[in-house]
Chains A and B, each alone.
Chain A
Amino acid sequence: MDNSSTVAKLEAAGKTRSVPRSGRGLWALYALLCIVWWGVWGFLSKLGSDQISPQQLQILFTIGIIPPSILAWAQLGFKVETDRRGAIYGILNGIFTGLGMLAYYAALARGQASIVGPFTALFPLLTIALAFAFLRERINRIQAAGMILALAAIVLLSF
């Protein structure tokens, strides 16, 4: 079946670039993979934070992320896309993640972990609001209900 017109519409909406229509349903699998990797990261953070400062741990994380990015670079034939806005979004992604971490540690040093943790863990709420406003994302009712359950779970698990 020819999906080219659908794809063209999506391209126009900026919602797809290179992944063909057939591979697009797999996103949930990759989200699951992300949960597993970040879960491992959270566990290792727990082990490491007993022994060294958050800043030292963050420096090690920054060095440790280099090998996976070299793998990604190799898969691109040692080239990287230089679309200016794409690159800026990526760099800001790293800077804001780092700034968020520093602010989080500063909050932890001044407040109770059992309050700071769940409070900051609600960051997806802001992403949801921004995505609704700027990306015009719309979700179905089941996803909306899932969103509420997920936010409740995030708070319960972040103590």
Chain B
Amino acid sequence: MATWVFYACVATLCWGVVGLLQKLGTNRISSRSLLIWLVVGFAAMLPLLWRGGALAGLGWRVLLIGLLGGAANGLGSWALFEALERGAKASVAVPLTALYPLVTIVLARIFLAETLTFRQWFGIALAVAGGAMLSYETELK
């Protein structure tokens, strides 16, 4: 087995479990509290990350990009927790919110003038249709 397969499996496993943990979490505490504990978990990872490179000598522009990115990521997680707290099922909310690259691609097209490939257009169409269907809740179980 190629080593990339091993690491890719670890990543998929970790993120897949996170989807379950998010729902288990909002079953116990509010979305706001869950966000705060999430940050504690992120902070626990800092020593591991620090070995990959501290922040000395970074330009202000990239610092700002990173910090704003973190804020956007946190606000997104908060919104997902809120959705789960309001009754969204993990099996629906997690695939639905995993469609976020749709927005990234659109932003890249607007601000970086990147052109969309046929595959991406097709992906966007499937994402919009799939997202709408996932949101179709018939009954409250």
| Interface, chain A (partner B; CB < 8 A) | 6, 10, 14-19, 23-31, 33-48, 51-69, 72-73, 75-76, 80-81, 83, 85-87, 89-104, 106-108, 110-111, 115-116, 119-132, 134-135, 137-140, 142-143, 145-159
B133 adjacent to A135 (CB under 8 Å): no
A38 adjacent to B100 (CB under 8 Å): yes
In the assembled complex, 22 residue pairs joining A and B whose CB atoms fall closer than 8 Å, in A order, are A24-B87, A26-B86, A31-B83, A37-B72, A37-B79, A42-B104, A52-B62, A59-B55, A60-B67, A61-B70, A63-B70, A65-B71, A90-B35, A93-B25, A94-B41, A96-B14, A121-B101, A127-B19, A131-B90, A139-B92, A146-B132, A154-B98
A76 adjacent to B8 (CB under 8 Å): no
Q: Report if A31-B38 is in contact (Cβ < 8 Å); known contacts: A37-B76, A96-B21, A104-B7.
A: no
The residues of B that contact A152 with a CB separation of less than 8 Å are: 123, 126, 130
Q: Which 8 A-B pairs have the closest CB atoms?
A: A94-B41, A64-B70, A39-B103, A55-B52, A90-B37, A60-B66, A126-B16, A146-B133
Nearest-Cβ distance from residue A76 to partner chain B, whole angstroms: 5
Please measure, in the bound complex, the distance between the C-alpha atom of A156 and the C-alpha atom of B111, giving whole angstroms: 21
The residues of A that contact B59 with a CB separation of less than 8 Å are: 51
Q: In the complex, how many residue pairs between chain A and chain B have their CB atoms under 8 Å apart?
A: 491
Please measure, in the bound complex, the distance between the C-alpha atom of A83 and the C-alpha atom of B126, giving whole angstroms: 40
The residues of A that contact B62 with a CB separation of less than 8 Å are: 48, 51-52
Please measure, in the bound complex, the distance between the C-alpha atom of A97 and the C-alpha atom of B79, giving whole angstroms: 17
The residues of A that contact B107 with a CB separation of less than 8 Å are: 39-40, 43
Please measure, in the bound complex, the distance between the C-alpha atom of A43 and the C-alpha atom of B105, giving whole angstroms: 8
- Assess whether B27 is interfacial by the CB under 8 Å rule: yes
Checking A18, A52, A55, A83 against B51 with a beta-carbon cut-off of 8 angstroms, the contacting residue is A55
**Contact residue range for chain B?**
35 or more
| Chain A residues touching B, majority SS | helix
Nearest-Cβ distance from residue A72 to partner chain B, whole angstroms: 4
Please measure, in the bound complex, the distance between the C-alpha atom of A38 and the C-alpha atom of B23, giving whole angstroms: 18
Which residues of chain B (79-104) have a CB below 8 Å from chain A? 79-80, 82-104
The residues of B that contact A67 with a CB separation of less than 8 Å are: 71, 74
Which residues of chain B (12-30) have a CB below 8 Å from chain A? 12-30
Please measure, in the bound complex, the distance between the C-alpha atom of A28 and the C-alpha atom of B135, giving whole angstroms: 6
B102 adjacent to A157 (CB under 8 Å): yes
The residues of B that contact A119 with a CB separation of less than 8 Å are: 8, 12
B73 adjacent to A100 (CB under 8 Å): no
Which residues of chain B (120-138) have a CB below 8 Å from chain A? 120, 122-124, 126-127, 129-138
A123 adjacent to B19 (CB under 8 Å): yes
A131 adjacent to B23 (CB under 8 Å): yes
